[in-house]
Amino acid sequence: MGNHKSGRPDESEFAPYYKGYIGQVLEDDVITALEAELTESISFFRGIEEQASKSAYAEGKWTIREVVGHVIDTERVMSYRALRFARNDKTELPGFDQDEYIRGASFNDISLGDMLREFEHLRRSNILMFRNLSPEAWDRSGSANGKQISARALAFVIAGHEKHHRKVIKDRYQLAHGASQ
């Protein structure tokens, strides 16, 4: 299964803000969680009709496509941080403004199908990156947005963040088909 180090991150490996996302991940092996989640997510999102994916659950809230775009952007940012820290790069990394990312994108103009293909490729790439980290690399950390976080914790954040947003869509968006199960 590669060099990945099993086990959950210790609370000293991340800022309290991330505890909610990390807590979404039930597995102790984040690679297993990321792989299982990919299958579940693709199946869930493929059940949403293109037109329905342009809807928001309330005025001023993101559309489903914007939520998917946000998940993709966040996974990119977090995996980049994980790569930098795993490679022992001690450069302080900035935060990112999720609302500016949404405003700067045109997610509602991209088909949900294309977004899902992008998500799938990104996730598979990240699974390979994480699978091939050395045990020492998993323990390495750095500072992003003024907070210390380990490569291992970032992998769990990626998994938990996607799971969180899928649950929000299930709970808040009125979908008239199988995706609202």
Q: What is the token pair recorded at 126?
A: 């990240």
Dihedral sign from CA coordinates of 24, 26, 28, 33: negative
Calpha distance 79→91 (Å, rounded): 15
Confidence of residue 87 (pLDDT cuts 50, 70, 90): very high
Q: 12-175: which CATH topology?
A: Four Helix Bundle (Hemerythrin (Met), subunit A) (1.20.120)
Each residue's pLDDT tens digit, 114-164: 999 999 999 999 999 999 999 999 999 999 999 999 999 999 999 999 999
Given a cut of 70, whether residue 176 has pLDDT beyond it is no
Given a cut of 70, whether residue 5 has pLDDT beyond it is no
Calpha distance 86→152 (Å, rounded): 9
